[in-house]
Amino acid sequence: MNKSNTPGRLRYGVLFSFWPLFFLAGCTSPTPFQELLQTRGSQYDTLVRGGRVLDGQDSVAYRADILIRNDSILFIGEVDASAIAVEQVIDATGKYVAPGFIDTHAHGDPLETPAFENFLAMGVTTICLGQDGGSPEYEDIRPWMEKVDSVGPGVNIAMFAGHGTLRQLSGAGYKPQPEPEEMARMQTLLTDALDAGCFGMTTGLEYTPGIYAGDEELAALARVVGEKGGLIMSHVRNEDNGAIEASLRELLRQGQYCNVQVSHLKVVYGKGEERAEEILGLLDSARNNSNYSVTADIYPYTASYTGIGIVFPQWAKPPNDYGQVKRERREELLEFLRQKIQSRNGPEATLFGTEPYAGKTLAQVAAEQGRPFEEVLLDIGPGGASGAYFVMDEALQGRLLEAPHVMICSDGSPTMRHPRGYGSFPKIIEQYVREEQRFSLAEAVRKMTSLPAETLGLKGRGVLKEGYQADLVVFDPRKVKARATFSEPHRLAEGMEWVAVNGKVAFREGQLVRRAGRVLRK
C-alpha cells in the first residue's frame, strides 16, 4: 500500500469522550484525529464507517472512515466513534466509497424534473447542462440559476452557455455570417455568462443554428472562453467516419485559445480498434502540442439519440419553410431521405423515442402504414420526432472509452427514451470493469470523478479529500447493475446503496431521500 497517499491512519481505543482535550494534548503528541477534535469539536453530521476508499486519484483503495459536517469532508482516517457525537452512521464495511460521479454531458430541465433520480441512482452527484449549443434563453443567466437553487435540484448543476442560444439572443440567428454588432453582442453575452458562473461554452455544429458558424466566429468566442479560463465542449460538425477528422480539427483550431472537449466521442459507421487508434492519435498529437487541455467524453452504448432532423438535409430545416420544401422539392427530399436512412444501417436501425411511435423502429412504422419509410419521415418532418440510431461499432467505441483522457458521460435525461440516461455509469462498472476487465475499478472511478473535475475546473469536488465537498457514493461493485433497456429505458440502476450530495444523503437503496443539489458557479 502506498501510505504516502493515505490520510491519517489511527488506532482505535486511544481516546475517551469524557477526557478533557487539554489533558490529551499534554500527555502525548496528539494524533490527527485528536487534533481534529481539538480544532473542530466532537459534533458531526455523518460518519461513513469502515469502507474501502477510492479517492478518485490513487489506484490503491484503503480502509478508512470519513467524517462529514455540513457539506464538507472534515476527516479521513480511523475514527474512534466513542469520542464523537454523530447524527448518522453509514456502515460501508465491505463496500467501496468513492467521490460522487460527474456527468460531463447531460440533459434535462431542473425546473420541470428537479429530482433527477435517474442520475442519483447511477451515483451521479453533478451534471453539466447547456449542451449541444443550447442553454436557457436568458440574456442574464443569473435569475435562472437562482430559480433552480430555490427549487432545489437533486444533483449539483454545472452550467454552460450554448453557442446556438448566443446566436439567437444576439440577433445573428441563422445567418451564415453575423453582422459585426451581432458578433460583439455574442461575445458580451458569453462574457457575462462566464462571469455569472458558467464553466464554458458548448457548440452543436451539426444542428441549427450552430451549423452556420465558421472558423472566424468560433475563434472569436474561443478567445473569450480562454480569457475566462473556461472550456468549450463541442458536438462536432459531422461524426461520420469520413468526416470525423475534419470535424475534430475544427474544434482543435479553437483549442489554440482555450481548453476543448469532444462531446460524446463517436465515429459513425467506423469499424474496429485500428480506426479508434487513428482518432485517439489525432487527439493525442494535439494535446502534446498545445498549452490547453484536449479531452473527450463518451457514453457506453452503440446507439445515439437525437431529433429526427439529423437525417434531413439542411435545406429542409430552419430557417427554411418545410411546407414549401415539401411542395416544391418533394421527390428530391424523398430520394435524400431514402439514401440517408440506407446509409445509416437502414430503417431497422432507427428507433423512435417520441409518441406516437415510441418504441417502434422506422421499419415497423412503415410496415404498419403500408408505405415506404421515406414517406413516413416526410410526413413527420425534421422537428417532429426523436429517436435512437444504431450506427456505432462496439470494438471501436470500446477502445475510445479506454483512453486515459476520455471520461464518462450519459448524454441522457430523466425523460429521454434511451437507456444511457439511466444506465451509463453503472454499465461502466458492470460491463467494462467487472465482465470485460478493460480497466480497473479505480480507473473507472477516476474517469467519473477527478478527471472531469479537473477538466471542468471544478474546485473542491471529484476527489475524496479533507476540506473537499462531501459528494460521495457507497457501493458494492458486484451488485451494481444497469437495468435500463431500449424497450424499458426508464428503469433505475441498482447497486449505489448510499449517495450523498453536499454532505446530505440524497439517495439510499433505490429511494430518493432529499434534493440536496445546487447550481455550481465557477
Residue in the structure block whose three cell numbers are 462496439: 394
Query: What's the average model confidence in pLDDT over 280-297?
Result: 97
DSSP track, 448-470: HTHHHHHHHT-TT-SS--TTSB-
Chain centroid to CA 237 = 20
Residue 18: which residues within 8 A CB-CB, separation 6 or more? none
State the sign of the Cα–Cα–Cα–Cα dihedral 159, 155, 410, 464. positive
For residue 29, the model assigns a pLDDT of 75
Asked if residue 96 has pLDDT above 90, the reply is yes
For residue 51, the model assigns a pLDDT of 98
Banded pLDDT at 163 (limits 50, 70, 90)? very high
Topology annotation, domain 101-302+392-457+468-520: TIM Barrel (3.20.20)
For residue 19, the model assigns a pLDDT of 38
For residue 28, the model assigns a pLDDT of 61
More confidently predicted of 27 and 106: 106
Asked if residue 441 has pLDDT above 50, the reply is yes
Asked if residue 34 has pLDDT above 60, the reply is yes
Domain boundaries, the chain: 3-94, 101-302+392-457+468-520, 305-390
Banded pLDDT at 58 (limits 50, 70, 90)? confident
For residue 495, the model assigns a pLDDT of 97
How far, in Å, CA of 99 to CA of 125, rounded?
9
Residue-wise pLDDT tens digits, 405-420: 999 999 999 999 999 9
Residue 276: which residues within 8 A CB-CB, separation 6 or more? 267, 270, 395, 396, 397, 399, 400
Of 378, 365, 282, the closest CA to residue 323 belongs to 378
Could you give the percent of the chain with pLDDT greater than 70? 95
For residue 4, the model assigns a pLDDT of 40
DSSP track, 194-252: HHTT--EEEEETTSTTGGG--HHHHHHHHHHHHHTT-EEEEE-S--BTTTHHHHHHHHH
Query: Could you give the 3-state DSSP secondary structure of residue 339?
Result: helix
Please give the C-alpha separations between residue 326 and each of 53, 70, 321, 329, in angstroms, as whole numbers: 60, 60, 9, 6
For residue 24, the model assigns a pLDDT of 42
How far, in Å, CA of 115 to CA of 515, rounded?
6
Asked if residue 20 has pLDDT above 50, the reply is no
How far, in Å, CA of 311 to CA of 147, rounded?
36
Q: State the CATH architecture for 3-94.
A: Roll (2.30)
For residue 12, the model assigns a pLDDT of 31
Residue-wise pLDDT tens digits, 451-506: 999 999 999 999 999 999 999 999 999 999 999 999 999 999 999 999 999 999 99
- Work out the mean pLDDT of the chain and round it to a whole number: 94
Banded pLDDT at 75 (limits 50, 70, 90)? very high
Q: Classify residue 103 by burial, with Cβ atoms within 10 Å: 0-12, 13-18, 19+.
A: buried
Query: What's the average model confidence in pLDDT over 47-76?
Result: 96
Asked if residue 361 has pLDDT above 50, the reply is yes
Of 87, 92, 442, the closest CA to residue 76 belongs to 92
